[in-house]
Amino acid sequence: MAKGKRGDNMMGGWAFLIGVVLAIILGFVGLQNQPLWLWVFVVLGLIIGLLNVTGNEVQPFLMAGIVLIIASALGQDVLSSVSQLNGMLEALLAIFVPAVVIVAIRHVFSLARR
């Protein structure tokens, strides 16, 4: 997470924390596929991507995000018999896919400006 002024990344930091906690809880109880919660996860992912990742954090975030997305997507197949873990992985995907896409798009635009 960015370490600039305290107020700059506070909303992004809270979005990250709330998103991961909600993903774990709602995935565990099986509510992650309800349309309302999917939208909440996507919006939190967009906030994380827009506000939480800056400058020198882009490369590590993209690498970690891609690994998390791949592991979650493949982990769903392996862990399909354990519905609670499968639900958590689905919820994490709903958060991190939009965040990684936003950060990647921002990074491509910053590379194009150079």
The structural domain count of the chain equals 1
Q: Please tell me whether residue 30 adopts helix, strand or coil conformation.
A: coil
DSSP state of 109: H
Residue 98 placed within a domain: yes
Segment holding 112, helix H or strand E: helix 83-113
Q: Which domain range does residue 41 map to?
A: 10-113
Query: Which pLDDT score is estimated for 2?
Result: 47
Residue 5 placed within a domain: no
Residue 2 placed within a domain: no
Residue 92 placed within a domain: yes
Query: Which pLDDT score is estimated for 6?
Result: 53
Query: Which pLDDT score is estimated for 75?
Result: 82
- Residue stretches of the chain with pLDDT short of 70: 1-9
